[in-house]
Amino acid sequence: MKCFIILILITFSLSNAYGQKVQFKHVEPANWWVNMEHSKVEVMLHGDNIAKYAVKALGLEIVGIVKTENPNYLFLTLETKNEVPGTYPIQLFDGKKQVASYDFELKKRAVDSKMRRSFTPADMIYLLMPDRFSNGDPSNDQDASMIEKMDRKNPGGRHGGDIQGIINHLPYLKELGATAIWSTPLLCDNDTVFSYHTYGQSDIYKIDPRYGTNQDYQRLVKEAHALQLKIIMDVVPNHWGQTHWMMKDLPTYEWIHQFPGYGQTNYRMTTQIDPNAAAVDQKYCEEGWFVKSMPDINQSNPLALNYLIQNAIWWIEFAGIDGFRVDTYCYNNKEGIASWTKAITDEYPNFSITGEVWVHDQAQISYWQKDSPISKIQSYNSYLPMVMDFTLQDALTVAFNETEQKWDKGLYRIYDNLTMDFLYAEPNNTLIFAENHDTDRFNEYCPKLEDYKLLMTLLATMRGVPQLYAGSEIGMKGNKSLGDADIRKDFPGGWSTDSQNAFIEKGTKNVLSQEGRTDEQKAYFEITKLLFNWRKNKAVIHTGKTMQFIPEHNVYVYFRYNEAEKVMVVLNNSRSEEKIDLSRFSEIMGTVGEGKDVISGAKINLGQKTLAVPAKTSLILELK
């Protein structure tokens, strides 16, 4: 089993008077940092019957000791304010005899750690599943300490992708136009099957050894930063896996929600905000387990909540990451997850966190955003900076296949989604996407390149933070009805045995003599690359205002504008050429006579009465 220099599973012991050993099985967090807002760090000590011993922390003030009904735990709160970096032994005593010691280290923080940059509407986020992206280090494909072994022939098994595979292809992501990388979780998941998705974690202080080590994760962040790429960590405060080491020895019965034992969530997130909801329905939504193998953490328990807060802060400091994506955000205890989020953003004022709020109503999504005008009605604030725009995703799954607009079909669905922006405290702080690792692939239900171009035009120019799912940029398809494995296929070229390598250009031969992107894949890649590299430096898109016009004949026109610049976006989703009356847009266009199309590079005469737009075509016009 691979070990790391600072973490947990190292045993520290001294012999007591009877020749027996007192062991620290776990010390979490294993270290802390000086000059933190969260200066009172609560260290969890775990070992057989250690609660019966007296405890000291040499050089640090102990401001709290908590014992639970489980004698195998001690929760020791240390005051680190105004302390200096160094080693501070935590010692256990049986009477006057010292029986155990652990060197707790306070580290120096990185320069400007508190004010670290994070992802913003200026970014394009590339979502990948590490197990399915690239196998950069075959030596970690198997690990004796982990139950499930690599079996690439099994669609739902582990395929061997890892951190080194991500590092190897950072230049590819840079070329594509991505500026941030969201990887699905990389922490230990020791489930017997389907462990590759890593949402049922067995140790939240440790990278899964089949992905690499904690130090490999640090290196990923460093290598990404060298290319001006940001790293977003996927975190799961709502639940962990049945194989988490604590499940064999819970700190307290109330650490997880018990019914007793397993109770299934009803998945009805509306009960979290419904003023008329029955208490039993609220209970089973929030406290029920997501699935039988994922125990639900009780965030109303102060010990469990603080444990989660400190773990999140620990990873930010340890790895230097740039943001969080939070899984199943609205399944958490409302007050608990708000405290968790606020503690992190108090520690890092610029740190961005986006939450998965998978509901299908803008008011319900808005409820979970920081300073929401909706949640204020109930005097609630989640403090969550960013939410995922699932209602837009709903529209995108059908709009491009509706070539006749009718009253509420086609591109009107997208227009209608934006009419609800008044519900959000900050519409720009919405994550916009057409697909992710839990949904059908866009290229599955819209298999034509012309529809993909329309989609990329929209994602590259609309308000919010665009997110692309790995493989979309080469036309990968997947049907969720065939199982999750179909929407989570391996990226071609991520394995040395692959016959084709879509990470490289067609006609290029690498050392393994793999063919590069096909002509079709190249067409998908090039439009993605063009639009998102253009977007990188367009403040008018990142922070500008929006003016949209009701779609006519399935042609949707909107403008992004600020004091310095205007961009006109035209999407024709009909099967025929459509002529649009330019005088309709005079209130925003003024007397502009020309626009340069970002996609074709052509100059477009806007001084005429009408503009002909070919079928299934988009324009992005920089107005002059």
Distance CA 78, CA 485 (A): 46
Name residue 342's amino acid.
K
CATH code: domain of residue 129:
3.20.20.80
> What is the domain count for the chain?
3
In a domain? residue 377: no
Catalytic (active-site) positions:
327, 356
In a domain? residue 425: no
Residue 171 phi, psi (nearest 5)? -60, -35
Domain boundary among 59, 78, 107: 107
User: 101 with 129, same domain?
Assistant: no
Cβ-based burial of 17 (10 A; exposed 0-12, middle 13-18, buried ≥19): exposed
Structural domain range at position 615: 545-623
Based on its alpha-carbon atoms, the radius of gyration of the chain, rounded to whole angstroms, reads 26
Determine if the peptide bond prior to 551 is cis (ω within 30°). no
In a domain? residue 56: yes
User: 67 with 131, same domain?
Assistant: no
User: 29 with 103, same domain?
Assistant: yes
Residue 55 phi, psi (nearest 5)? -130, 145
Domain boundary among 107, 135, 170: 107
Secondary structure of 111-173 as H, E, C letters:
CCCCCCCCCCCCCCEEEECHHHHCCCCHHHCCCCCCCCCECCCCCCCECCCCHHHHHHCHHHH
> Which pLDDT score is estimated for 511?
52
- The string of DSSP codes covering 477-502 is ---GGG-GGGGSPPPTTSSTT-SB-T
For the chain, list residues with pLDDT below 70: 1-20, 509-513
H-helix or E-strand containing 532?
helix 519-535
CATH code: domain of residue 52:
2.60.40.10
Distance CA 419, CA 55 (A): 60
CATH code: domain of residue 563:
2.60.40.1180
| Helix 302-319 vs helix 334-347: crossing angle, to nearest 10 | 30
Residue 517 phi, psi (nearest 5)? -60, 140
In the 8-state DSSP scheme, what is residue 207? E
pLDDT (tens digit per residue) in 128-187: 999 999 999 999 999 999 999 999 999 999 999 999 999 999 999 999 999 999 999 999
Do the Cβ atoms of 534 and 404 come closer than 8 Å? no
User: 571 with 517, same domain?
Assistant: no
Distance CA 65, CA 303 (A): 11
User: 83 with 176, same domain?
Assistant: no
Do the Cβ atoms of 354 and 324 come closer than 8 Å? yes
In a domain? residue 301: no
> Which pLDDT score is estimated for 591?
86
In a domain? residue 266: no
Distance CA 334, CA 393 (A): 25
Distance CA 77, CA 598 (A): 57
User: 615 with 512, same domain?
Assistant: no
Distance CA 33, CA 106 (A): 5
Determine if the peptide bond prior to 29 is cis (ω within 30°). yes
End-to-end CA distance of the chain: 62
In a domain? residue 135: yes
